[in-house]
Copies of this chain bind each other. A is one copy, B any other.
Amino acid sequence: MQSINSNEEETLRVRKLEITDKSKGFIELLQQLTICDSVSDNDFQERFQELSAYGDNHVICVIEDDSSRKIIATGSVFIEKKFIRNCGKVGHIEDVVVDSSARGKQLGKKIVGFLMDHACSMGCYKVILDCSVENRAFYEKCGFKEKEVKMVKYFI
C-alpha cells in the first residue's frame, strides 16, 4: 500500500461505506481482521443493499487514504432495540480494523469515536464490543471498561 501523504490529518476523515469501496480494498482490509474470503461483486452489492435497508440502525464506516484511494480503516455499529431500560437501545460495535501499514496514526480511535458518537446520537444507553486480550488496553483508552464474560458457540 502506498504511504500516506503529509496532509493526512486533513484527508483522513471517517465516512460511511459506499458501494464503490469494494474496488478500494475494503474486503482485503477485512481479511486482516479474520477469515474473509473474496466476495463476488454480486454478493457484495446484495449484502450492501441489505445493510443499507437498516439505515442508521446499522452503519459501517471507513477511512480512505486519498492519495492511494485505498480503504485503510473500518468498523461497524448496529443498534439493538430492547424492551429493558425503558425500551432502550444498545450499540454493538463490530469488525474494527486498521490497515497494517497505517497503524499508530490514531485511526482506530477515530473509527471507534465515530461509531460511539453514532450510537449515542441514536439514543443508546450503552455501547458494547468484544475484543482480544491484546486489544483491551486500546479500548480502555477509548473509554470502555471490561465487564462480564463473552461466550461463543461455533456452528461451523
Q: Which A residues contact B (CB, under 8 angstroms)?
A: 26-27, 30, 33-37, 39, 43-44, 46-47, 50-51, 58, 78, 80-87, 92, 94-95, 116, 119-120, 124-133, 135-136, 139-140, 142-156
Closest 5 pairs between A and B when the two form their complex, measured CB to CB? A144-B151, A150-B150, A36-B84, A37-B86, A147-B152
Majority SS at the chain A contact face: mixed
Copies of the protein in its oligomer: 2
Contact of A84 among B33, B128, B132, B135 (CB under 8 A): B33
- Do A81 and B144 form a contact, CB below 8 Å, given A131-B151, A152-B126? no
Task: Tell me, in angstroms, the Cα distance from A37 to B128 when the chains sit together.
Answer: 21
Contact of A148 among B82, B95, B133, B140 (CB under 8 A): B133
Could you give 16 example pairs across A and B, Cβ below 8 Å?
A: A26-B83, A35-B85, A36-B83, A126-B152, A126-B156, A127-B153, A129-B151, A130-B130, A130-B150, A132-B149, A136-B149, A142-B153, A143-B153, A144-B152, A147-B150, A149-B150
